[in-house]
Structure 1
């Protein structure tokens, strides 16, 4: 999410081919469903949050917001520890193997803040489903341009949940965890749709650009 630091060495065709072969593990929309239901339609993935769950998320975020810079760094350090292949998407720090050095990286801190900003905007739109959907959809489209494949999206939610548990302490309950899981499931589904919609659009434009112009031949008598 918010992968503005992705590098040119990731092949979008390869990434998408892998996605087509791999079923979604996050409960979101798969490749076929995303193409059948365009970004302007209502999501097939239901919005899974009850009013009580929205309140739990908002209460959690009130506490987390005070320390979002640290949370952002923790999320990505955990992500790279558990899924080291994800570092290949970030060309500015993909070659940093020392995690202590990585924690001090200004680029990593900035990227962590961008992701936390996206989560903050999502929390602010919990009662505006259309705006929340559009927010995640557009982020998915931008990830296509950054060549950050959808298989990585679900990891962020998992690592976020793991990172915030010790911060929230007794305020972290099974109910709060389920609420955050449902939110990330929805966001991931919408991002996947945005990614594949953008990919289809770009492929169509590329194909159109490569088509030779049809020359008109004058009639000869």
Structure 2
């Protein structure tokens, strides 16, 4: 995705020339209503972030070895965000926290392992990410979610947004097991479109805490 982006300033909504975009469909995606469906689909299509700048890809269906039933897990997001998406105390924006009713598959599996689970945004809340759409949520071990990701790749993205820059991003969870909703790693590809700096960062989602691999310029937290 990043290879398709030049170093010039881009209009955040002009993503059609960068990606093949399926028609967005906010319903029934992002909820658990799929269990009442009989067509074996998790979502009819992708959804959009609150500003429409980011596409949430449909979840994929799999059999969860922990819950002993079919589940749907997030597959990734991509788009271009700018200061209209920035959501901080000093800059209230469209990003939202996760609700107690929204628990992606794998959340309770982490708890059963004896660890504290967190809902992890793919599109960060500080970058306008929706915390109520399951297409944008994955379970993370508590210390991976915060402070590791919060103060690492997400803080890096926040720095660009606070500078008034646009950021192209593609974030993909990679599941360590075909029968689990817990991603073993989360791949962050992002670029500051004003400076032209690109980063490929892979954060390992481990009970002991996060670890980052990837390009040399990735933010790394101890």
Instruction: Say which structure, 1 or 2, has more relative contact order (CA 8 Å, 6+ apart).
Output: 1
More strand by share: 2
Which protein is richer in helix relative to its size?
A: 1
Q: Same fold (TM over 0.5)?
A: no
- TM-score after normalising by structure 1: 0.28
